[in-house]
Structure 1
Amino acid sequence: MAFHLKTSNPAFTPYFWNDNGQHTSTMTVRGIFIKSVLCIMAIMAVTFGIWTLHEQGVDVSWFTYGGLIGSVIISVIISYKTHWAHILVPLYTITKGCFLGGFSAYVRAKFPDMPYQAIGVTIVAFFTTLVLYQTRIIVVTKKFRSVIITAAATIFVVYLISFILNFFGIKTFIWGTSWVAIIFNVVAAIVASLSLLLDYDFIERHKNRAPKYKEWLATWGLLVTLVWLYVEILRLMRKLAIKF
Protein backbone atom coordinates (compact mmCIF):
# COMPACT_ATOMS: atom_id res chain seq x y z
CA MET A 1 0.00 0.00 0.00
CA ALA A 2 1.40 3.36 -0.95
CA PHE A 3 0.96 6.52 1.07
CA HIS A 4 1.31 9.99 -0.40
CA LEU A 5 1.53 12.18 2.68
CA LYS A 6 3.92 15.02 3.26
CA THR A 7 5.97 16.03 6.24
CA SER A 8 8.65 18.65 6.87
CA ASN A 9 11.00 15.92 8.06
CA PRO A 10 12.93 14.32 5.16
CA ALA A 11 13.00 11.00 7.02
CA PHE A 12 9.22 10.73 6.75
CA THR A 13 8.72 11.18 3.02
CA PRO A 14 6.80 8.52 1.07
CA TYR A 15 10.05 7.41 -0.61
CA PHE A 16 11.10 5.67 2.59
CA TRP A 17 7.74 4.07 3.30
CA ASN A 18 6.22 2.83 0.05
CA ASP A 19 6.51 -0.92 0.08
CA ASN A 20 4.40 -3.39 -1.84
CA GLY A 21 5.95 -6.53 -0.39
CA GLN A 22 4.53 -8.81 2.28
CA HIS A 23 6.15 -8.73 5.73
CA THR A 24 5.64 -11.05 8.66
CA SER A 25 6.80 -8.40 11.12
CA THR A 26 5.73 -4.78 11.00
CA MET A 27 6.72 -1.47 12.52
CA THR A 28 5.28 -0.75 15.95
CA VAL A 29 5.16 2.33 18.16
CA ARG A 30 6.75 0.32 20.97
CA GLY A 31 9.68 -0.59 18.75
CA ILE A 32 10.19 3.03 17.71
CA PHE A 33 9.99 4.16 21.34
CA ILE A 34 12.64 1.68 22.52
CA LYS A 35 15.03 2.52 19.69
CA SER A 36 14.50 6.27 20.18
CA VAL A 37 15.22 6.07 23.91
CA LEU A 38 18.40 4.05 23.32
CA CYS A 39 19.61 6.51 20.68
CA ILE A 40 18.88 9.52 22.88
CA MET A 41 20.78 7.90 25.74
CA ALA A 42 23.72 7.30 23.40
CA ILE A 43 23.67 10.94 22.25
CA MET A 44 23.69 12.10 25.86
CA ALA A 45 26.59 9.78 26.73
CA VAL A 46 28.70 11.08 23.84
CA THR A 47 27.74 14.66 24.70
CA PHE A 48 28.79 14.30 28.34
CA GLY A 49 32.06 12.70 27.22
CA ILE A 50 32.88 15.67 24.99
CA TRP A 51 31.98 18.06 27.79
CA THR A 52 34.55 16.29 29.95
CA LEU A 53 37.20 16.66 27.24
CA HIS A 54 36.38 20.37 26.90
CA GLU A 55 36.79 20.85 30.66
CA GLN A 56 40.22 19.23 30.37
CA GLY A 57 41.26 21.84 27.81
CA VAL A 58 40.81 19.75 24.67
CA ASP A 59 39.78 21.60 21.51
CA VAL A 60 36.37 20.09 20.71
CA SER A 61 35.72 22.12 17.57
CA TRP A 62 36.69 19.06 15.53
CA PHE A 63 33.88 17.14 17.18
CA THR A 64 31.43 19.91 16.35
CA TYR A 65 32.26 20.21 12.66
CA GLY A 66 33.09 16.54 12.21
CA GLY A 67 29.83 15.50 13.83
CA LEU A 68 27.84 17.93 11.72
CA ILE A 69 29.43 16.84 8.44
CA GLY A 70 29.28 13.17 9.43
CA SER A 71 25.59 13.34 10.30
CA VAL A 72 24.80 14.98 6.96
CA ILE A 73 26.73 12.34 5.01
CA ILE A 74 25.11 9.50 6.92
CA SER A 75 21.67 11.03 6.39
CA VAL A 76 22.28 11.11 2.63
CA ILE A 77 23.35 7.45 2.68
CA ILE A 78 20.28 6.48 4.70
CA SER A 79 18.16 8.22 2.08
CA TYR A 80 19.43 5.80 -0.57
CA LYS A 81 20.17 2.69 1.51
CA THR A 82 17.13 2.37 3.75
CA HIS A 83 17.86 -1.30 4.47
CA TRP A 84 21.10 -0.24 6.14
CA ALA A 85 19.22 1.91 8.65
CA HIS A 86 19.86 -0.50 11.54
CA ILE A 87 23.59 0.16 11.08
CA LEU A 88 23.53 3.77 9.90
CA VAL A 89 21.14 5.22 12.49
CA PRO A 90 23.39 4.23 15.45
CA LEU A 91 26.31 5.83 13.57
CA TYR A 92 24.16 8.92 12.98
CA THR A 93 23.46 8.95 16.71
CA ILE A 94 27.17 9.04 17.50
CA THR A 95 27.87 11.84 15.02
CA LYS A 96 24.98 13.88 16.39
CA GLY A 97 26.31 13.33 19.89
CA CYS A 98 29.68 14.69 18.75
CA PHE A 99 28.04 17.73 17.17
CA LEU A 100 25.80 18.49 20.14
CA GLY A 101 28.63 17.85 22.59
CA GLY A 102 30.97 20.28 20.88
CA PHE A 103 28.27 22.83 20.12
CA SER A 104 26.86 22.92 23.64
CA ALA A 105 30.29 22.72 25.35
CA TYR A 106 31.04 26.32 24.40
CA VAL A 107 27.65 27.47 25.67
CA ARG A 108 28.12 25.47 28.86
CA ALA A 109 31.50 27.11 29.51
CA LYS A 110 29.80 30.49 29.92
CA PHE A 111 26.35 29.35 31.00
CA PRO A 112 26.84 26.07 32.91
CA ASP A 113 23.15 25.30 33.48
CA MET A 114 21.84 26.35 30.07
CA PRO A 115 22.26 23.04 28.20
CA TYR A 116 20.34 21.23 30.94
CA GLN A 117 17.61 23.84 30.78
CA ALA A 118 17.44 23.45 27.00
CA ILE A 119 17.13 19.67 27.40
CA GLY A 120 14.30 20.21 29.86
CA VAL A 121 12.45 22.56 27.52
CA THR A 122 12.90 20.10 24.64
CA ILE A 123 11.43 17.27 26.72
CA VAL A 124 8.48 19.44 27.73
CA ALA A 125 7.91 20.41 24.09
CA PHE A 126 8.01 16.76 23.04
CA PHE A 127 5.41 15.59 25.54
CA THR A 128 3.26 18.69 25.06
CA THR A 129 3.03 18.16 21.32
CA LEU A 130 2.42 14.44 21.87
CA VAL A 131 -0.52 15.19 24.17
CA LEU A 132 -1.87 17.80 21.76
CA TYR A 133 -1.71 15.24 18.96
CA GLN A 134 -3.17 12.31 20.89
CA THR A 135 -6.05 14.37 22.24
CA ARG A 136 -6.61 15.88 18.78
CA ILE A 137 -6.50 19.40 20.20
CA ILE A 138 -4.35 20.05 17.14
CA VAL A 139 -5.44 18.10 14.10
CA VAL A 140 -2.86 17.51 11.40
CA THR A 141 -4.70 18.52 8.24
CA LYS A 142 -3.44 18.95 4.69
CA LYS A 143 -3.33 22.73 5.14
CA PHE A 144 -1.47 22.37 8.44
CA ARG A 145 1.14 20.17 6.77
CA SER A 146 1.59 22.63 3.93
CA VAL A 147 2.18 25.56 6.30
CA ILE A 148 4.74 23.69 8.42
CA ILE A 149 6.54 22.27 5.39
CA THR A 150 6.79 25.72 3.81
CA ALA A 151 8.03 27.29 7.04
CA ALA A 152 10.60 24.54 7.65
CA ALA A 153 11.89 24.76 4.08
CA THR A 154 12.23 28.54 4.36
CA ILE A 155 14.18 28.25 7.61
CA PHE A 156 16.44 25.62 6.06
CA VAL A 157 17.21 27.87 3.09
CA VAL A 158 18.01 30.81 5.40
CA TYR A 159 20.40 28.65 7.42
CA LEU A 160 22.03 27.24 4.30
CA ILE A 161 22.64 30.69 2.82
CA SER A 162 23.92 31.97 6.17
CA PHE A 163 26.39 29.07 6.53
CA ILE A 164 27.71 29.64 3.02
CA LEU A 165 28.15 33.36 3.58
CA ASN A 166 29.80 32.67 6.92
CA PHE A 167 32.63 30.83 5.12
CA PHE A 168 33.37 34.10 3.33
CA GLY A 169 33.37 36.08 6.57
CA ILE A 170 29.92 37.56 6.02
CA LYS A 171 27.75 37.43 9.14
CA THR A 172 24.00 37.40 8.59
CA PHE A 173 21.34 38.49 11.07
CA ILE A 174 20.73 34.98 12.46
CA TRP A 175 24.09 34.95 14.26
CA GLY A 176 23.53 38.15 16.23
CA THR A 177 21.48 39.02 19.29
CA SER A 178 19.24 41.61 17.66
CA TRP A 179 15.50 41.39 18.06
CA VAL A 180 15.24 40.18 14.47
CA ALA A 181 17.63 37.32 15.23
CA ILE A 182 15.75 36.44 18.42
CA ILE A 183 12.39 36.47 16.66
CA PHE A 184 13.83 34.22 13.94
CA ASN A 185 14.96 31.75 16.61
CA VAL A 186 11.55 31.83 18.27
CA VAL A 187 9.82 31.11 14.97
CA ALA A 188 12.31 28.33 14.16
CA ALA A 189 11.76 26.71 17.58
CA ILE A 190 7.98 26.84 17.14
CA VAL A 191 8.19 25.30 13.67
CA ALA A 192 10.50 22.57 14.98
CA SER A 193 8.00 21.81 17.75
CA LEU A 194 5.09 21.65 15.32
CA SER A 195 7.11 19.42 13.02
CA LEU A 196 6.91 16.78 15.74
CA LEU A 197 3.15 16.67 15.15
CA LEU A 198 3.74 15.79 11.52
CA ASP A 199 6.14 13.05 12.58
CA TYR A 200 3.60 11.56 15.02
CA ASP A 201 0.96 11.66 12.31
CA PHE A 202 3.12 9.92 9.78
CA ILE A 203 4.16 7.20 12.24
CA GLU A 204 0.54 6.59 13.23
CA ARG A 205 -0.46 6.15 9.61
CA HIS A 206 2.27 3.55 9.02
CA LYS A 207 2.36 1.62 12.30
CA ASN A 208 1.57 -2.08 11.91
CA ARG A 209 1.89 -1.64 8.13
CA ALA A 210 5.47 -0.74 7.26
CA PRO A 211 8.15 -3.46 7.57
CA LYS A 212 9.89 -3.88 10.92
CA TYR A 213 13.27 -2.53 9.84
CA LYS A 214 11.70 0.86 9.14
CA GLU A 215 11.42 1.45 12.88
CA TRP A 216 15.01 2.63 12.52
CA LEU A 217 13.95 5.13 9.86
CA ALA A 218 11.17 6.42 12.12
CA THR A 219 13.70 6.73 14.95
CA TRP A 220 16.02 8.66 12.67
CA GLY A 221 13.21 11.03 11.72
CA LEU A 222 12.36 11.78 15.34
CA LEU A 223 16.02 12.35 16.18
CA VAL A 224 16.35 14.83 13.31
CA THR A 225 13.45 16.89 14.66
CA LEU A 226 14.41 16.64 18.34
CA VAL A 227 18.02 17.67 17.69
CA TRP A 228 16.83 20.59 15.58
CA LEU A 229 14.47 21.66 18.37
CA TYR A 230 17.16 21.39 21.05
CA VAL A 231 19.64 23.44 19.02
CA GLU A 232 17.07 26.17 18.38
CA ILE A 233 16.11 26.34 22.05
CA LEU A 234 19.74 26.46 23.18
CA ARG A 235 20.59 29.19 20.67
CA LEU A 236 17.54 31.19 21.73
CA MET A 237 18.34 30.90 25.43
CA ARG A 238 21.95 31.94 24.82
CA LYS A 239 20.89 35.01 22.84
CA LEU A 240 18.42 36.06 25.52
CA ALA A 241 21.06 35.58 28.26
CA ILE A 242 23.57 37.73 26.37
CA LYS A 243 21.04 40.44 25.50
CA PHE A 244 19.60 40.74 28.99
Structure 2
Amino acid sequence: MALGGNPVFNGKNFRGAKQAPPVPQNPYGQQFNQAPGRAPGQVMDGHAAWSAQQQNMTNEQLQQMYNQPAAGPADTGRMTYDDVIMKTVACLVVLIIGAGVTLFVAPALSTTLMIVGALGGFVLALVNTFKKQPSPALILAYAGLEGLFLGGLTRILDGMYPGVGLQAVIGTLAVFGVTLVLFKSGKVRATPKLVRFFMIATIGYAVFALINMVMMWTGAVQSPFGLRTELTIAGIPLGVFIGILAIGLAAFSLIMDFTSIEEGVRAGAPERYSWVAAFGLTVTLVWLYVEIIRLLAILRGDD
Protein backbone atom coordinates (compact mmCIF):
# COMPACT_ATOMS: atom_id res chain seq x y z
CA MET A 1 0.00 0.00 0.00
CA ALA A 2 1.13 3.54 -0.58
CA LEU A 3 2.83 4.80 2.52
CA GLY A 4 1.15 7.77 4.15
CA GLY A 5 -2.23 7.06 2.63
CA ASN A 6 -5.54 6.70 4.39
CA PRO A 7 -4.68 5.53 7.94
CA VAL A 8 -7.52 3.02 7.63
CA PHE A 9 -5.24 0.88 5.47
CA ASN A 10 -2.19 1.14 7.76
CA GLY A 11 -1.40 -2.16 9.43
CA LYS A 12 -3.63 -3.95 6.93
CA ASN A 13 -1.16 -4.24 4.06
CA PHE A 14 -3.04 -6.10 1.37
CA ARG A 15 0.18 -7.35 -0.13
CA GLY A 16 0.76 -9.34 3.03
CA ALA A 17 -2.74 -10.80 2.99
CA LYS A 18 -2.32 -13.34 0.23
CA GLN A 19 -4.22 -16.57 0.43
CA ALA A 20 -2.78 -19.92 -0.43
CA PRO A 21 -4.71 -21.35 -3.39
CA PRO A 22 -6.86 -24.34 -2.57
CA VAL A 23 -5.71 -27.80 -3.60
CA PRO A 24 -7.22 -28.51 -7.04
CA GLN A 25 -10.03 -31.01 -7.08
CA ASN A 26 -11.74 -32.81 -9.90
CA PRO A 27 -15.51 -32.64 -10.32
CA TYR A 28 -15.89 -35.85 -8.33
CA GLY A 29 -14.25 -34.66 -5.17
CA GLN A 30 -10.95 -36.62 -5.18
CA GLN A 31 -7.85 -34.47 -4.78
CA PHE A 32 -5.29 -34.65 -7.54
CA ASN A 33 -2.45 -35.38 -5.12
CA GLN A 34 -4.24 -38.34 -3.53
CA ALA A 35 -3.80 -41.48 -5.62
CA PRO A 36 -6.16 -44.45 -5.34
CA GLY A 37 -4.88 -47.06 -2.94
CA ARG A 38 -2.61 -44.69 -1.01
CA ALA A 39 -3.15 -43.81 2.62
CA PRO A 40 -4.62 -40.37 3.36
CA GLY A 41 -1.90 -37.76 3.64
CA GLN A 42 0.53 -39.78 1.47
CA VAL A 43 1.32 -37.25 -1.23
CA MET A 44 2.54 -38.04 -4.73
CA ASP A 45 4.47 -35.69 -6.97
CA GLY A 46 2.34 -33.69 -9.40
CA HIS A 47 3.08 -35.77 -12.52
CA ALA A 48 2.47 -39.10 -10.81
CA ALA A 49 -0.74 -37.85 -9.21
CA TRP A 50 -2.04 -36.56 -12.52
CA SER A 51 -1.22 -39.84 -14.28
CA ALA A 52 -3.00 -41.82 -11.57
CA GLN A 53 -6.08 -39.61 -11.91
CA GLN A 54 -6.14 -39.99 -15.67
CA GLN A 55 -6.08 -43.78 -15.41
CA ASN A 56 -9.20 -43.76 -13.25
CA MET A 57 -11.26 -41.31 -15.35
CA THR A 58 -13.20 -41.96 -18.52
CA ASN A 59 -12.78 -39.80 -21.60
CA GLU A 60 -16.19 -38.28 -20.91
CA GLN A 61 -15.15 -37.33 -17.37
CA LEU A 62 -11.90 -35.81 -18.60
CA GLN A 63 -13.69 -33.78 -21.24
CA GLN A 64 -16.23 -32.56 -18.69
CA MET A 65 -13.42 -31.46 -16.38
CA TYR A 66 -11.60 -29.60 -19.17
CA ASN A 67 -14.81 -27.81 -20.19
CA GLN A 68 -15.33 -26.33 -16.72
CA PRO A 69 -14.53 -22.59 -16.47
CA ALA A 70 -11.43 -21.59 -14.56
CA ALA A 71 -12.02 -20.47 -10.97
CA GLY A 72 -12.04 -16.68 -10.61
CA PRO A 73 -11.15 -14.54 -7.58
CA ALA A 74 -14.71 -14.66 -6.26
CA ASP A 75 -14.69 -18.46 -6.42
CA THR A 76 -11.52 -18.68 -4.35
CA GLY A 77 -12.63 -16.19 -1.67
CA ARG A 78 -10.42 -13.31 -2.80
CA MET A 79 -11.22 -9.60 -2.92
CA THR A 80 -12.60 -8.24 -6.18
CA TYR A 81 -13.53 -4.78 -7.41
CA ASP A 82 -17.19 -5.84 -7.38
CA ASP A 83 -16.87 -6.68 -3.68
CA VAL A 84 -15.45 -3.25 -2.93
CA ILE A 85 -18.13 -1.49 -4.97
CA MET A 86 -21.02 -3.35 -3.36
CA LYS A 87 -19.75 -2.85 0.19
CA THR A 88 -18.99 0.83 -0.45
CA VAL A 89 -22.53 1.27 -1.77
CA ALA A 90 -23.86 -0.43 1.37
CA CYS A 91 -21.90 2.01 3.56
CA LEU A 92 -23.15 5.00 1.59
CA VAL A 93 -26.76 3.80 1.73
CA VAL A 94 -26.53 3.52 5.53
CA LEU A 95 -24.87 6.95 5.65
CA ILE A 96 -27.68 8.48 3.58
CA ILE A 97 -30.31 6.91 5.84
CA GLY A 98 -28.55 8.39 8.88
CA ALA A 99 -28.41 11.79 7.19
CA GLY A 100 -32.10 11.57 6.39
CA VAL A 101 -32.91 11.13 10.08
CA THR A 102 -31.23 14.36 11.17
CA LEU A 103 -32.55 16.23 8.16
CA PHE A 104 -36.20 15.58 8.95
CA VAL A 105 -36.55 15.29 12.74
CA ALA A 106 -37.22 18.25 15.03
CA PRO A 107 -34.40 20.85 15.08
CA ALA A 108 -33.48 20.29 18.75
CA LEU A 109 -33.31 16.53 18.29
CA SER A 110 -31.37 16.99 15.04
CA THR A 111 -28.65 18.94 16.87
CA THR A 112 -28.39 16.27 19.57
CA LEU A 113 -28.16 13.49 17.00
CA MET A 114 -25.53 15.44 15.08
CA ILE A 115 -23.33 15.67 18.18
CA VAL A 116 -23.87 11.98 18.93
CA GLY A 117 -23.00 11.13 15.34
CA ALA A 118 -19.84 13.25 15.39
CA LEU A 119 -18.53 11.78 18.65
CA GLY A 120 -19.66 8.23 17.93
CA GLY A 121 -18.33 8.35 14.39
CA PHE A 122 -14.94 9.55 15.64
CA VAL A 123 -14.73 6.71 18.17
CA LEU A 124 -15.75 4.04 15.66
CA ALA A 125 -13.36 5.47 13.08
CA LEU A 126 -10.51 4.84 15.52
CA VAL A 127 -11.83 1.40 16.45
CA ASN A 128 -12.19 0.30 12.83
CA THR A 129 -8.84 1.79 11.87
CA PHE A 130 -6.84 -0.08 14.49
CA LYS A 131 -8.91 -3.26 14.53
CA LYS A 132 -6.87 -6.13 13.07
CA GLN A 133 -9.80 -7.83 11.37
CA PRO A 134 -12.60 -5.84 9.71
CA SER A 135 -16.03 -5.91 11.35
CA PRO A 136 -18.89 -5.25 8.88
CA ALA A 137 -21.25 -4.34 11.74
CA LEU A 138 -18.88 -1.70 13.16
CA ILE A 139 -18.13 -0.31 9.72
CA LEU A 140 -21.83 0.06 8.91
CA ALA A 141 -22.41 1.57 12.36
CA TYR A 142 -19.69 4.13 11.60
CA ALA A 143 -21.42 5.00 8.33
CA GLY A 144 -24.75 5.47 10.12
CA LEU A 145 -23.24 7.74 12.79
CA GLU A 146 -21.42 9.82 10.20
CA GLY A 147 -24.72 10.12 8.38
CA LEU A 148 -26.28 11.63 11.51
CA PHE A 149 -23.42 14.13 11.70
CA LEU A 150 -23.48 15.07 8.01
CA GLY A 151 -27.26 15.41 7.99
CA GLY A 152 -27.20 17.76 10.97
CA LEU A 153 -24.32 19.79 9.55
CA THR A 154 -26.06 20.07 6.19
CA ARG A 155 -29.31 21.14 7.85
CA ILE A 156 -27.57 23.97 9.72
CA LEU A 157 -25.50 25.27 6.81
CA ASP A 158 -28.25 24.86 4.25
CA GLY A 159 -30.57 26.80 6.53
CA MET A 160 -28.06 29.64 6.61
CA TYR A 161 -27.11 29.45 2.94
CA PRO A 162 -29.88 27.70 0.98
CA GLY A 163 -28.61 25.32 -1.69
CA VAL A 164 -25.14 24.57 -0.30
CA GLY A 165 -26.16 21.04 0.69
CA LEU A 166 -27.08 19.98 -2.83
CA GLN A 167 -24.06 21.81 -4.24
CA ALA A 168 -21.80 19.95 -1.81
CA VAL A 169 -23.24 16.59 -2.83
CA ILE A 170 -22.73 17.38 -6.51
CA GLY A 171 -19.23 18.69 -5.80
CA THR A 172 -18.28 15.53 -3.87
CA LEU A 173 -19.52 13.27 -6.66
CA ALA A 174 -17.71 15.39 -9.25
CA VAL A 175 -14.38 15.28 -7.40
CA PHE A 176 -14.74 11.52 -6.83
CA GLY A 177 -15.56 10.90 -10.51
CA VAL A 178 -12.73 13.06 -11.86
CA THR A 179 -10.24 11.51 -9.43
CA LEU A 180 -11.28 7.98 -10.43
CA VAL A 181 -10.97 8.79 -14.15
CA LEU A 182 -7.53 10.33 -13.65
CA PHE A 183 -6.40 7.32 -11.64
CA LYS A 184 -7.72 4.79 -14.17
CA SER A 185 -6.03 6.69 -17.00
CA GLY A 186 -2.72 6.60 -15.15
CA LYS A 187 -2.33 10.38 -15.28
CA VAL A 188 -2.27 10.72 -11.49
CA ARG A 189 -0.42 8.27 -9.27
CA ALA A 190 0.68 8.20 -5.64
CA THR A 191 4.38 8.80 -6.27
CA PRO A 192 6.77 8.96 -3.28
CA LYS A 193 7.21 12.74 -3.70
CA LEU A 194 3.48 13.38 -3.77
CA VAL A 195 2.95 11.11 -0.78
CA ARG A 196 5.58 13.02 1.24
CA PHE A 197 3.94 16.33 0.32
CA PHE A 198 0.55 14.88 1.27
CA MET A 199 1.84 13.81 4.69
CA ILE A 200 3.43 17.19 5.44
CA ALA A 201 0.40 19.15 4.22
CA THR A 202 -2.03 16.91 6.13
CA ILE A 203 -0.11 17.31 9.39
CA GLY A 204 -0.03 21.08 8.89
CA TYR A 205 -3.76 21.15 8.16
CA ALA A 206 -4.50 19.03 11.24
CA VAL A 207 -2.49 21.41 13.44
CA PHE A 208 -4.36 24.41 12.01
CA ALA A 209 -7.74 22.70 12.51
CA LEU A 210 -6.88 21.87 16.13
CA ILE A 211 -5.75 25.42 16.91
CA ASN A 212 -8.83 26.83 15.21
CA MET A 213 -11.12 24.52 17.19
CA VAL A 214 -9.53 25.46 20.51
CA MET A 215 -9.80 29.18 19.73
CA MET A 216 -13.47 28.81 18.83
CA TRP A 217 -14.26 26.82 21.98
CA THR A 218 -12.46 29.32 24.22
CA GLY A 219 -14.14 32.29 22.55
CA ALA A 220 -10.85 33.76 21.33
CA VAL A 221 -12.47 34.21 17.92
CA GLN A 222 -16.14 34.94 17.32
CA SER A 223 -16.49 34.19 13.61
CA PRO A 224 -18.70 31.19 12.70
CA PHE A 225 -15.74 29.35 11.18
CA GLY A 226 -13.05 30.74 13.47
CA LEU A 227 -9.77 31.75 11.89
CA ARG A 228 -11.09 30.60 8.52
CA THR A 229 -13.25 33.73 8.30
CA GLU A 230 -11.56 35.90 10.95
CA LEU A 231 -8.39 36.30 8.87
CA THR A 232 -8.27 37.47 5.28
CA ILE A 233 -5.63 37.54 2.56
CA ALA A 234 -6.11 40.27 -0.05
CA GLY A 235 -9.71 40.54 1.10
CA ILE A 236 -10.32 36.80 0.67
CA PRO A 237 -11.10 34.77 3.82
CA LEU A 238 -8.29 32.46 4.88
CA GLY A 239 -10.83 29.62 4.88
CA VAL A 240 -11.07 29.77 1.09
CA PHE A 241 -7.38 28.96 0.68
CA ILE A 242 -7.47 26.38 3.47
CA GLY A 243 -10.60 24.81 2.00
CA ILE A 244 -9.10 24.46 -1.48
CA LEU A 245 -6.00 22.85 0.04
CA ALA A 246 -8.11 20.46 2.12
CA ILE A 247 -10.21 19.43 -0.88
CA GLY A 248 -7.01 18.75 -2.82
CA LEU A 249 -5.69 16.63 0.06
CA ALA A 250 -8.95 14.66 0.25
CA ALA A 251 -8.85 14.09 -3.51
CA PHE A 252 -5.28 12.81 -3.31
CA SER A 253 -6.32 10.59 -0.40
CA LEU A 254 -8.82 9.02 -2.82
CA ILE A 255 -5.93 8.32 -5.20
CA MET A 256 -4.10 6.48 -2.43
CA ASP A 257 -7.28 4.60 -1.52
CA PHE A 258 -7.62 3.45 -5.13
CA THR A 259 -3.96 2.41 -5.12
CA SER A 260 -4.44 0.31 -1.98
CA ILE A 261 -7.54 -1.34 -3.43
CA GLU A 262 -5.76 -2.09 -6.71
CA GLU A 263 -2.87 -3.67 -4.82
CA GLY A 264 -5.28 -5.71 -2.72
CA VAL A 265 -7.06 -7.16 -5.74
CA ARG A 266 -3.78 -7.84 -7.52
CA ALA A 267 -2.31 -9.54 -4.45
CA GLY A 268 -5.35 -11.77 -4.01
CA ALA A 269 -6.25 -10.44 -0.56
CA PRO A 270 -9.02 -12.28 1.33
CA GLU A 271 -12.55 -11.17 0.47
CA ARG A 272 -13.12 -9.71 3.95
CA TYR A 273 -10.62 -6.94 3.17
CA SER A 274 -13.16 -5.45 0.78
CA TRP A 275 -14.85 -4.10 3.94
CA VAL A 276 -11.61 -2.31 4.83
CA ALA A 277 -11.52 -0.78 1.35
CA ALA A 278 -15.17 0.32 1.62
CA PHE A 279 -14.52 1.83 5.04
CA GLY A 280 -11.47 3.72 3.79
CA LEU A 281 -13.40 5.17 0.87
CA THR A 282 -16.28 6.18 3.16
CA VAL A 283 -13.90 7.97 5.53
CA THR A 284 -12.35 9.93 2.66
CA LEU A 285 -15.71 10.82 1.09
CA VAL A 286 -17.00 12.11 4.45
CA TRP A 287 -13.90 14.29 4.77
CA LEU A 288 -14.29 15.54 1.20
CA TYR A 289 -17.97 16.42 1.68
CA VAL A 290 -17.31 18.32 4.91
CA GLU A 291 -14.56 20.39 3.27
CA ILE A 292 -16.67 21.20 0.22
CA ILE A 293 -19.80 22.26 2.12
CA ARG A 294 -17.71 24.38 4.50
CA LEU A 295 -15.92 26.08 1.61
CA LEU A 296 -19.25 26.79 -0.09
CA ALA A 297 -20.66 28.26 3.14
CA ILE A 298 -17.61 30.51 3.56
CA LEU A 299 -17.92 31.73 -0.02
CA ARG A 300 -21.63 32.41 0.40
CA GLY A 301 -21.03 34.17 3.71
CA ASP A 302 -18.50 36.47 2.05
CA ASP A 303 -21.01 37.67 -0.57
TM-score, normalised to structure 2's length? 0.73
SS at match of 1:139: coil
Find the aligned partners of 2:277 and 2:220 in 1 and give their Cα distance.
Answer: 37
SS at match of 1:212: coil
Q: Which runs of 5+ in 1 are unaligned?
A: none
Matched residue, 2:98: 46
Find the aligned partners of 1:168 and 1:88 in 2 and give their Cα distance.
Answer: 34
Find the aligned partners of 1:137 and 1:97 in 2 and give their Cα distance.
Answer: 33
Q: Which of 257, 265, 287 is the equivalent residue of 1:199? A: 257
* 2:227 is the counterpart of 1:173: yes
Find the aligned partners of 1:177 and 1:229 in 2 and give their Cα distance.
Answer: 23
Find the aligned partners of 2:215 and 2:80 in 1 and give their Cα distance.
Answer: 43
Matched residue, 1:140: 190
8 Å contact from structure 1 (residues 78, 85) kept in 2: yes
User: Which of the pair has the greater relative contact order for Cα pairs under 8 Å at 6+ separation?
Assistant: 1
Matched residue, 2:278: 219
Equivalent residues in 2 for 1:17-36 (5 A)? 17=13, 19=16, 22=19, 24-36=76-88
* 2:70 is the counterpart of 1:11: no
Describe the superposition over 1:114-133 as per-residue Cα deviations: whole angstroms up to 9, x where unpaired. Answer: 11110001001001000001
Cα shift at 1:84 = 4.4
Distance 1:191 1:104, change over 3 A: same
Letter in 1 for 2:270: P
> RMSD of the TM alignment (CA)?
1.9
SS at match of 1:16: coil
Cα shift at 1:87 = 1.5
Cα shift at 1:72 = 1.4
Cα shift at 1:144 = 1.4
SS at match of 1:79: helix
SS at match of 1:49: helix
8 Å contact from structure 1 (residues 177, 239) kept in 2: no
TM-score, normalised to structure 1's length? 0.89
Higher-Rg member (1/2): 2
SS at match of 2:108: coil
8 Å contact from structure 2 (residues 134, 273) kept in 1: no
Q: Which of 157, 160, 163 is the equivalent residue of 2:213? A: 163
Cα shift at 1:162 = 2.3
Find the aligned partners of 2:4 and 2:286 in 1 and give their Cα distance.
Answer: 17
Q: Which runs of 5+ in 2 are unaligned?
A: 21-75
Find the aligned partners of 2:220 and 2:88 in 1 and give their Cα distance.
Answer: 38
Cα shift at 1:59 = 3.8
Find the aligned partners of 1:233 and 1:140 in 2 and give their Cα distance.
Answer: 22
Letter in 2 for 1:8: G
Aligned length: 238
Cα shift at 1:177 = 7.3
Letter in 2 for 1:103: L
Cα shift at 1:65 = 1.8
Find the aligned partners of 2:243 and 2:85 in 1 and give their Cα distance.
Answer: 28
Find the aligned partners of 2:159 and 2:259 in 1 and give their Cα distance.
Answer: 38
Distance 1:191 1:142, change over 3 A: same
Letter in 1 for 2:100: F
Find the aligned partners of 1:20 and 1:212 in 2 and give their Cα distance.
Answer: 10
8 Å contact from structure 2 (residues 257, 281) kept in 1: yes
Find the aligned partners of 2:167 and 2:252 in 1 and give their Cα distance.
Answer: 20
Find the aligned partners of 1:30 and 1:21 in 2 and give their Cα distance.
Answer: 18
Q: Which of 96, 118, 124 is the equivalent residue of 1:68? A: 118
8 Å contact from structure 2 (residues 229, 239) kept in 1: yes
